[in-house]
Amino acid sequence: MKCYVPGSNVKVLGRTVHALARFGDELYLESLPECMLLRTLNAAESAYAMVKFNKNFFSYFNYNYYSTEDNEGLKCKISMKSALNTFKSPTHMDKQVENLEIKLDPEACKLIFQLKCKHGIVKTHYVSILDCKAMQAVYTKDSVPNRITSSQRLLSEALTNFQSSDDQVTLEASTQSFILRNYTECSADSLKVIRTQINLKPLEFTSYTIGTETTITFTLKEFRALLSFAEALSLPIQLHFETTGRPAVFIVHNGSTFEAHFVLATSKADNATQATATQNTTIDRKRKESSFQDSARKKVHIDNDISKCLDEDSHLFNFIDIPDEIPPPSALFNGDGAINGVNEETNNVNSSKINNDIDSDHIPASPTAKAMIKSVFRRCFESTFDPRAIRGVILAEDSDSE
């Protein structure tokens, strides 16, 4: 890949990297014919960010420059620290940087960022590529009952009323009101903590549609990160969310050159003050089950190491690991979102197992079978799955009423 970012957009890229850095420690880049994608996932796998830069964001964009395969774009992972080092102070970059060139140096396995600055100064960063994979999460953006558009200022102002020590927030949305409350895990300390609540009126939002009254809880750290991103670029935020347990999607875009999706896992806030430990466990389990449902349709890979993942909690995302040899997306799924087949070129030893599992794809998976569960999780070798293709399709039936 090779592209040029004009001076005025370098700041946007810088702000993006700073926002993504507050989510995860690794940055995934992928170049496609029409756009470049930056993605990251946080360590707890409860927050995911994806920012798409369209071709018109760049003054020059060649998605597969230097590629060995004809149609191959770039897919790589670099350390977030390296990315931050390149975009140290986004505010200054605006005035100093005239042009940024990003290109792949395939021989050295490095991604080269070259900033041409004023006064003839050139800064070049040779960033090591840690891995040649892409990463993607699956989430529902459009067929959600609740959609709100808000100026970033409204939400930023509301958040100033919370303590910096607050780490989770509960959002209670109804047609009449929008309430934000700080949330603490129930413990001995919770009795000593200030409880803060802010009531906002639906009229304060640019657009407000609540199809289903919902209460969701998510972490403030990433929420604050995406708010400052919107604030730095003076853009509004769209919130798309549905029921408890489903991820909430926050969208920031400028309508033409880039679009950012921030996806936060949600949980149910315990209204009871003294929720016992067992209650919490139940919630976790339910979360896991609903996500199993989601992923059941898409899983095609069995990785023997996955069993280890099951012990970890809150996997709300179907985490797809894409090896280099997979052909372009169109060939691989049919209309109803199920996976068609797998690329024979995959020299993955598990390919035979993959084929078997495709048949079981259509069975509404009950999460009890351990073998099934194993197949679901994080690393699913699958073709490039484009969430946009499944617009309007429910990814999973409701497993049970919660």
Partner 1 sequence: MKFRAVMIDAGPMREFTNIVTTISKLSKECVLRIASDQLYFIVSDENSGPAPPILWCEIPHSIFFSEYQMVGLDEQHKDIYLGFNSGNLARSLITLKSAKTLKMKLTKKQGPCLTLDIEVPSACSQQTRQVTHDIPIVVIPRKMWSDFQEPRTPQPDVSIELPTLKQLRTTIDRMKTMAAEVVIRASAEGRLTLQIKTDMAKVSTRFKDLRVETYGGPIDHSDSESETQINEDMSKVCHCRVDAKKLSMFLSADSISHNRTVCSIIHKKLVILCLQTEENVKLQCFITGIVY
Partner 2 sequence: MDEETSQYYFTASMDSGKTLCSLLKAIQFQESAVFCALPEGLKFTVEEGKCVQASAYVPADNFTEYHVRDDVDVMFKISVAVLAECLNIFGSGEESSLKMYYRCEGSPLLLVLQPQSVYNVMTDCEIFTQTADSVLELRDEDCPEVAKLVLKAPAFLGLLSDLERSCDIIEINLSPEHPHVSIVTYGMQDRSCIEVPKSSDMVQSFSCEEPVTLKYQLHHVRLIMKALAISTKVVLRCSSNGLLLLQLKLEKEDQRQMFSEFYIVPLLDD
Binding residues (CB under 8 A) for partner 2: these are 79, 82, 85, 88-89, 92, 110, 118-128, 130
For partner 2, which is the closer residue by CB, 123 or 141? 123
In angstroms, give the least distance from the CB of 95 to partner 2.
Answer: 11
Write out the two tokens for 114.
Answer: 């070259």
Distance CA 354, CA 381 (A): 9
The yes or no reply on residue 197 touching partner 1 (CB under 8 A) is: yes
**Residue 158 interface partner, choices partner 1, partner 2, none, CB cut-off 5-8 Å depending on type:** partner 1
What torsion do the CA atoms of 73, 77, 82, 88 make, to the nearest 10 degrees? 60
**Binding partner selected for residue 92 from partner 1, partner 2, none, CB under the kind-specific 5 to 8 Å limit:** partner 2
Structure tokens at 212: 């289903």
Q: Evaluate whether 144 touches 210 at the Cβ level (below 8 Å).
A: no
- Cβ nearer to partner 2, comparing 114 with 254: 114
Supply 103's token pair: 């290109």
Site residues for partner 1, 324-383, by CB under 8 A, read none
Among 112, 198, 283, 310, interactor with partner 1 by CB under 8 A: 198
Contact at 8 Å (CB) between 131 and 77? yes
Rank residues 118 and 308 by Cβ distance to partner 2 and give the closer one. Answer: 118
Q: Which stretch binds partner 1 (CB under 8 A): 1-9, 67-75, 201-209, 353-361?
A: 201-209
159 is a contact residue toward partner 1 (CB under 8 A): no
Alpha helices in 233-311 (DSSP H): 277-296
Q: State phi, psi for 369 to the nearest 5 degrees.
A: -65, 120
In the complex with partner 1, which residue's Cβ is closer, 163 or 307? 163
Q: Rule CB under 8 A: is residue 185 a binding residue for partner 1?
A: no
Binding segment toward partner 1, per CB under 8 A, in 158-166, 250-258, 290-298, 375-383:
158-166
User: In terms of CB distance, is 92 or 195 closer to partner 2?
Assistant: 92
Tell the smallest beta-carbon distance from residue 97 to partner 2 (Å). 11
The reply to whether 201 sits near partner 1 by the rule CB under 8 A is yes
Give the integer Cα–Cα distance in Å for 361 and 339: 8
Distance in Å, CB of 280 to partner 1, minimum: 17
191 in contact with partner 1 (CB under 8 A): yes
Give the DSSP letter string of 50-69. Answer: EEEEEGGGSSEEETTTT-SS
Q: What's the half-sphere exposure (Cβ side, CA atoms, 13 Å) at 52?
A: 16
Token representation of residue 231: 């604030």
The one of partner 2, partner 1, none whose footprint includes residue 199, by CB under 5 to 8 A per kind, is partner 1
Which range, of 23-31, 62-70, 195-203, 346-354, touches partner 1 by CB under 8 A?
A: 195-203
Closest by alpha carbon to 254, among 11, 2, 4?
11
Query: DSSP class of residue 239?
Result: E
Report the site for partner 1 in 249-278 (rule: CB under 8 A): 273
CA atoms of 263 and 248, how far apart (whole Å): 6
124 lies in the binding site for partner 1 (CB under 8 A): no
Rounded Cα–Cα distance for residues 235 and 123 (Å): 30
The answer to whether the beta carbons of residues 113 and 87 sit under 8 Å apart is: no
Q: In this chain, which of 96, 151, 228, 360 binds partner 1, going by CB under 8 A?
A: 151
Q: Judged by CB under 8 A, which of 34, 105, 131, 157 binds partner 1?
A: 157
User: Could you give the angle at which helices 220-232 and 7-21 cross, rounded to 10 degrees?
Assistant: 170
Give the residue with the Cβ less far from partner 1, 131 or 157: 157
Of the candidate residues 109, 193, 331, 369, the single one contacting partner 1 (CB under 8 A): 193
Is residue 364 within 8 A of residue 396, CB to CB? The reply is no
* Closest of 205, 263, 255 to residue 235, by C-alpha: 255
Report the residue number, 190 or 228, with the smaller CB distance to partner 1. Answer: 190
Binding site for partner 1 (CB under 8 A): 151, 153-154, 157-158, 160-161, 163, 190-201, 203-204, 273
